[in-house]
A and B are shown apart, each in its own frame.
Chain A
Amino acid sequence: MTITSQAPAAEVGAARKRKEDARLITGQTMWTENIVVPGMLHMAILRSPLGHARISRIDTAPALREPNVVAAFSGRDVADVQGSLPCAWPVTAELVMPAHPPLAVDEVCHTGEAVAVVVARDRASAVDALAAIEIDYEPLPVVLDLEAALADGADLVHTDQTTNKAYTWIFDSAQAGTGGAVDEAASGAEVVIRRRYRQQRLIPAFMEPRSVVVDATGDQVTVWSATQIPHVLRFLLAVGTGTPEHRVRVVAPDVGGGFGGKLQVTPEEMITYLASKRAGRPVKYTETRSDSLLSAHHGRDMIQDIELSARRDGTVLGLNVRLTANMGAYLGLVGPGVPILGAFMYNAIYKFPAYRFECTGVFTNTTFTDAYRGAGRPEATYAIERIMDELAVEVGLDPLEVRRRNWIGHEEFPFTTVAGLTYDSGNYEAATDRAKQLLGYDELRREQAARRASGDPVQLGIGVSTYTEMCGLAPSRVLGSLRYGAGGWESASIRVLPTGKIEVVTGSSPHGQGHETAWSQIVADQLGVAFEDVEVLHGDTRTAYKGMDTYGSRSLAVGGFALVNACKKVIDKAKPVAAHLLECDVSDVEFADGAFRVRGTPDGGRSLADCALAVFAAHDLPDGVEPTLDADDVYDPVNFSFPHGTHLCAVEVDTETGRVTIRAYVAVDDVGRVVNPMIVEGQVHGGVAQGVAQALFEEAVYDADGNLLTGTFVDYTPPSAADLPDIVSDRTETPAPDHPLGTKGVGEAGTIASTPAVVNAVVDALRPYGVDDVPMPCTPERVWQAIRNGGGQS
């Protein structure tokens, strides 16, 4: 093929419809639950109905007499072989790590903990036979309250431990050399504001329930799982079961959402493995929604004690944060580290001179907590953005003005913060100006004043959230310094097929993010091939054997970097081939607009496909040229990336009923350069929905006995489209200086930004009633109570 025309317009930046959506939306794909392996059996799990108890007797034999049952066993039957589920983030050397058996052996420590299983020829038979299992429990004291759990003489979550404290982790800017001492800052301050905020417990509530199929019948162990982390799972399954790693294959087929909830090595995955081993047959387990709400890991659940010291002019002098974080009954895969990720974000976009952070992780008799969209950063952003509003009220400034007096100016980047991170780039002024304009900020403030003056029963509130976050997890050295158990690199491989079609293998496996589309767009531009000619392969450790998986808004920020590097290597490998075809010296070949040309000669170029065919035949290659164009890259980031933005929310509060209605929501996000604006907008919309859900709707509630009261979607209430506002989404673009595409990351931004924007708006509406806080979720009843009590924390 001789190329004379220009290459098509750039793919990066185009709002391409997602190539994976047709199969995902119509269900015409291979979800784990759709997988059928010859001879496969079905497993059902018996779960503890008690929050804390000793198992005094358990007998699974009666279940074996039920129809179609093949196997039944309890934790005692596998106690010697089941091991303990891994925690990969022991944040301190002194961390208390109770054993976490997949099946409880002698003691259950939370409601919903797995105690026994039945394996049967069909799912219904397995579920029915659970009733035949005989089990006696001796109830033990249930520990639920975080502060009571830490008191002397408290009942213990695990009877074989001596404390309910998992760890205390401290950062102090005076000790780190990144700033001053908070006590000195507070003693010299004109204004000191102290607040206690509660991050209620949330449930990730991904759309596709977790499902796993394990075939451990031969030399090879194959695991299909609805997981975010096939590579981490493979490694830990090999280590945990003693199976040689090269004989473990993990496949994450299409996965229907995760939000961090599938960033876990789950009890259910291990139990299904044990069941397949014992039954000698492939075994499937698919959870119900009720199982999922009860036993898949939960998120958030912290008490935040915040002290902000400032001058009367609104300049912040110091920030002191004390967290009490609920770990639940066990330590999840990265659970202890979740609050620590937030430690670097409480200072947010501001130039605070002194900062101290102390987090104590606490065990309770509840489902264990772990990563949930944003993981530590939404909690931090909530606390700082809420208390900045309190500072604004205290010193009599507009909330945006008090922020402006403290934020990092756009000319000050790169900026090393009091928490020790170096923010790469940003323009808070531009994003805020744009958001104000889109909302009609000044006009709404006038309307608010009018409604206050007239005593309108429907009051207007305007909420502000100027956020940043750290994306692109993560430089491996930083992870090492935080005692995380793995690195933060990512991989990409390009296979150039003989006809010039491209296969891309990515180590970060999507569960809804749209990798196939975005990766195709990038590769199309880099290699000068058509978008449709790129296939993206992922999720199967046999195909994509190297990866760190998908979480922490890392895929594009880290994996995208590796992808661009791999593409560049392909071009470098193709150049000698192209030179040979063009009959020129390799130093005279340039690649631009999808073609290799002799420098200064616009016509007569050769495409990558020409080179691919040439290396396939390999009849006529220069000496020493390897007959392939394939290339791999593994990239370890040098820094995080720091997207930011300004979200503004206007709410109407019906003061007679307490109902909050979001009237307008504006999200201006700066996520660096954008590969696909439609995907970015989708991430913002979904993220805002989840953040609004924390502000107004969702909470996982236990009763005094440790029973989960919010065990169905009737009681645990994620919003539907009808509960959510129209979202005005816009962007400013400050490129990431360290990334070849200038991209930053967007997977969590909306969730991080929106929760404080909404609650700030609710509180703003109620200021005339003396209200300075409404606990989340701000249900109509809580809002009504706040108005009635006419008080707050101050």
Chain B
Amino acid sequence: MIPVSFDYQRPSTVDEAVQALSAAGDDGKVLAGGQSLIPMLRLRLSAPSVLIDLGALADLRGIREDGDGLLIGAMTRHADVLANPLVRRYVPLLAQATATVADRQVRHLGTLGGSLAHADPAGDLPAVAVALDATMEIAGPDGQRTVPAGDFFVDYLTTALGPADVLLGVRFPSHEGWGTHYEKFQRMAQAWALVGVAATVRRENGTIAEARVALTNMGPVPVRARAVEDALTGAASTADAIAAAAGLAGEGTRPTSDLTASAEYRAHLATVLTGRAVSAAAGVG
């Protein structure tokens, strides 16, 4: 299909981008890598009157060490995340999950920030950001602010970003020494996740000292599996303990039924995949 006609702007600074978005009001839309937005425009599911392309904002591209962790620019492409040795050292979970995003072509155009700001419940990276306790750096008409990943995802395709806000980057605390794993289940090799599980585990002396588990596509936003985390915390790092905890993965979730899977099946998958993700993260089994 052909998108509805729109204006196109390509600001050269973040301030210009914020001003352009402010001027556009509710009719503006940020264009990052375009891998979700362009198909939506073509299907006329989205019809903004102004597209504000962040492609010229070089400062929003790149990965650097930042305190105890990494700061990744919002416009950094998935392929650059994947290729980066710092990512593999500090947050290998991000690299592992990014490798499962769509296909090679998408990963060379799509961006980390675009993926998070789009907030598709079936997208892989929102749950990963939550499991890694990431923080979002945001610029808006009232200046800059930070929002924890856990507060960033508000509802289906909806985030804490206001209409004139620009996501600048994402801060990931180092998870060196943690065990992490992303377990994704999809029908087709290049499809969205029916369910995904991002698990991070810190072990001390054979027990699990700390765990964060976040679920993809088990509700309108990524869901922290708190019951699983509570059951794991202080538990022995054994297959039985993990299996018992994983059985609680459905608690607090709101999976949908759609053409690709029923809610019942998603709930079942959540327990199976949580068991697998935590086991892999903990190096058990």
Residues of A bordering B, CB below 8 Å: 123-124, 127-128, 288, 290, 656-657, 659, 697, 701, 709-710, 712, 714-715, 717, 719-720, 722-723, 779-781, 784-785
Contacts and interface: CB of A to CB of B under 8 A. Distances in A.
A722 B2 contact: no
Nearest to A710: B259
B13 interface: no
Given A290-B1, A657-B272, A722 B189 contact: yes
Contact of A720 (B189, B259, B268): B189
Nearest to B266: A781
A785 B4 CA distance: 43
10 closest residue pairs by CB, A with B: A722-B189, A781-B265, A127-B2, A656-B272, A723-B189, A124-B2, A717-B188, A288-B1, A709-B259, A781-B261
A720 B190 contact: yes
Contact of A784 (B4, B187, B192, B268): B268
B273 to A, nearest CB: 8
Contact of A722 (B187, B190, B261): B190
B269 interface: yes
A266 B265 CA distance: 41
Contacts of B190: 720, 722
Nearest to B42: A288
B205 interface: no
Contacts of B103: 720
B178 interface: no
Nearest to A722: B189
Given A127-B1, A710-B259, A657 B188 contact: no
B262 interface: yes
Nearest to B189: A722
B220 to A, nearest CB: 18
Most buried by A among B1, B4, B187: B187
Q: Which of B5, B191, B273 has the most CB of A within 10 A?
A: B191
Contacts of B192: 714
B188 A720 contact: yes
A780 B187 contact: yes
A719 B265 CA distance: 22
Contact of B43 (A290, A722, A785): A290
A414 to B, nearest CB: 45
A657 B259 CA distance: 17
A719 B272 contact: no
Contact of B259 (A123, A659, A701, A780): A701
- By CB atoms of chain B within 10 A, which of A710, A712, A719, A781 has the most? A781
Given A288-B1, A290-B43, A781-B262, A697 B188 contact: yes
A785 to B, nearest CB: 8
B39 to A, nearest CB: 8
A552 B110 CA distance: 43
Given A719-B188, A723-B189, A784 B2 contact: no
Nearest to A721: B189
Interface in B250-279: 259-262, 265, 268-269, 272-273
Q: Chain A interface mostly helix, strand, loop or mixed?
A: loop
A123 B2 contact: yes
Interface of B: 1-2, 4-5, 43, 103, 185, 187-192, 194, 259-262, 265, 268-269, 272-273
B272 A723 contact: no
A485 to B, nearest CB: 36
B60 to A, nearest CB: 28
Contacts of B259: 701, 709-710, 715
A784 B265 contact: yes
Contacts of A784: 265, 268
Contacts of B194: 780
B215 to A, nearest CB: 15
Nearest to A696: B187
Given A657-B272, A701-B259, A781-B262, A723 B188 contact: yes
A789 to B, nearest CB: 13
Given A659-B185, A781-B265, 8 more contacts: A124-B2, A127-B1, A128-B5, A657-B273, A719-B189, A781-B261, A784-B268, A785-B265
A717 B5 contact: no
12 contacts: A124-B5, A127-B2, A128-B4, A290-B1, A717-B187, A719-B188, A719-B189, A720-B103, A720-B188, A723-B188, A723-B189, A780-B187
A785 B192 CA distance: 21
Contacts of A781: 261-262, 265
Contacts of B1: 127, 288, 290
Nearest to B4: A128
A46 to B, nearest CB: 13
B189 A779 contact: no
A779 B187 CA distance: 7
A38 B272 CA distance: 62
Contacts of A659: 185
A779 B190 CA distance: 15
Contact of A657 (B2, B185, B191, B260): B185
Nearest to B260: A715
A127 B4 CA distance: 9
A127 B2 CA distance: 7
A779 B262 CA distance: 12
A175 B258 CA distance: 49
Contacts of B2: 123-124, 127-128
Contacts of B189: 719-720, 722-723
Contacts of A712: 43
A714 B259 CA distance: 11
Contacts of A722: 189-190
A779 B188 CA distance: 10
Contacts of A785: 265
A67 B1 CA distance: 19
B257 to A, nearest CB: 11
Nearest to A724: B189
Contacts of B191: 714, 717
Contacts of A717: 187-188, 191
Contacts of A124: 2, 5
Nearest to A701: B259
A719 B188 CA distance: 7
Contacts of A723: 188-189
A395 to B, nearest CB: 35
A596 B269 CA distance: 73
Nearest to A716: B259
A689 to B, nearest CB: 13
Contacts of B187: 697, 717, 779-780
Contacts of A779: 187
A309 to B, nearest CB: 38
A176 to B, nearest CB: 44
Contacts of B5: 124, 128
A123 B3 CA distance: 12
A714 B40 CA distance: 12
A372 to B, nearest CB: 20
B100 to A, nearest CB: 12
Contacts of A697: 187-188
Nearest to A288: B1
B43 to A, nearest CB: 7
Contacts of A709: 259
A762 to B, nearest CB: 15
B205 to A, nearest CB: 31
A780 B194 CA distance: 11
A10 to B, nearest CB: 41
Contacts of B268: 784
Nearest to A777: B187
Centre residue among A123, A127, A722, A780 by max chain B CB count within 10 A? A780
Most buried by A among B194, B259, B272: B259
B268 to A, nearest CB: 7
A353 B278 CA distance: 59
Contacts of A715: 259-260
A721 to B, nearest CB: 8
A542 B264 CA distance: 60
A722 B188 CA distance: 8
